[in-house]
């Protein structure tokens, strides 16, 4: 008589229902099941329609900011309808409810932005219309190419590519990691990090659970990537110190260099005319140099930049 297999804990994993979010949930499930030797059906994927996916004709900053990506998942997690939630880390607001915590960050994928419609910033046609709803992308583009015109461009990857195909813009930006997860890397041209600084937390899948759920927290610890966590916590510490919001044009690049972390950050005015930068090198978990970098940037913030960062007020 064959012994019945041991039943694995059944976890309900909440996710936005966009194709990219579902791909991230599938990756999370695969890593968690592999780590614990579970069958795939040990984890149920629970799609949730996020507010940010419902309103696509206005910039995110005008209709509630990054919380529109997390509000429904937070509610379901708080009510116990799901056990954990998966997020694109760059879409999670800096200040989170104390009831939840990040129990795992998956290994960071490509953190670069990809340009769709041109092979480089220099190759964008003179006076081109560039579609993006991200203040960082818009201001950084205008800083390098003030001749371009920026128009609001929202929606999932397929929606934005369709808008580009329809001629609503000549060029747009997409996260290289998102394109890779969807098997569409070929449509974009990744931008070199010396020229173009990505968003804080870009390329990282974050998994949250209830802070008082010790059992789920312990299960997720098996897939937490320590180097990614160190980078993410530093980047989020910088954003918190700057007082940045979804309106704030800020770009951050934090990379592991041996036993140290190296951070480069830039703040912009929305029109791209003003730009300040700074760097810091520090040990993982030591955020004092990160706070010092934020203080230095805020001290040097120009009149066009300062109003967009609460730390400067």
Positions annotated as catalytic residues are 91
How many angstroms separate the Cα of 111 from the Cα of each of 180, 220, 257?
11, 23, 16
Count the neighbouring beta carbons within 10 Å of the beta carbon of residue 192.
9
Cβ-contact 87, 204 below 8 angstroms: no
Write out the two tokens for 106: 């998956």
Write out the two tokens for 16: 């936005």
Write out the two tokens for 105: 């960050």
Whose CA is closest to 173, among 133, 213, 224, 139?
Answer: 133
| 3-state percent helix, strand, coil for the chain, nearest multiple of 5 | 35, 25, 40
CA angle 243, 146, 171 (to 5 degrees): 90
The total number of residues shown for the chain amounts to 313
Dist. CA 244–CA 240, nearest whole Å: 7
Alpha helices in the chain (DSSP H): 19-36, 67-78, 135-144, 157-165, 176-181, 214-220, 226-242, 288-300
CA angle 49, 55, 56 (to 5 degrees): 115
């Amino acid at each position: 008589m064959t012994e019945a297999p041991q039943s694995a804990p059944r976890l309900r994993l909440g996710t936005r229902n966009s194709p990219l979010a579902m791909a991230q949930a599938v990756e999370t499930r695969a890593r968690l099941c592999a780590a614990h030797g579970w069958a795939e059906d040990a984890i149920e994927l629970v799609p949730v329609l996020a507010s940010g996916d419902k309103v696509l004709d206005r910039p995110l900053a005008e209709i509630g900011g990054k919380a529109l990506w997390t509000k429904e998942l937070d509610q379901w997690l708080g009510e116990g309808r799901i056990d954990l939630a998966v997020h694109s880390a760059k879409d999670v607001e800096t200040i989170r409810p104390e009831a939840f915590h990040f129990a795992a960050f998956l290994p960071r994928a490509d953190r670069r932005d990809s340009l769709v419609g041109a092979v480089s910033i220099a190759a964008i046609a003179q006076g081109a219309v560039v579609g993006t709803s991200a203040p960082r992308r818009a201001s950084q583009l205008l800083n390098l190419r003030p001749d371009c015109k920026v128009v609001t461009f929202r929606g999932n990857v397929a929606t934005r590519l369709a808008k580009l195909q329809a001629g609503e813009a000549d060029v747009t930006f997409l996260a290289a990691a998102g394109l890779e997860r969807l098997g569409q890397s070929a449509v974009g041209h990744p931008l070199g990090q010396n020229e173009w600084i990505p968003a804080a937390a870009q390329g990282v899948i974050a998994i949250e659970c209830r802070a008082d759920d010790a059992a789920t927290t312990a299960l997720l610890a098996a897939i937490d990537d320590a180097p990614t966590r160190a980078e993410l916590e530093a980047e989020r510490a910088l954003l918190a110190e700057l007082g940045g919001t979804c309106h704030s044009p800020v770009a951050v690049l934090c990379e592991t260099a041996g036993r140290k972390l190296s951070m480069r950050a830039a703040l912009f005015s929305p029109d791209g005319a003003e730009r300040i930068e700074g760097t810091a090198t520090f040990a993982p978990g030591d955020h004092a140099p990160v706070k010092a970098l934020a203080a230095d940037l805020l001290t040097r913030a120009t009149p066009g930049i300062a109003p967009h960062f609460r730390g400067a007020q």
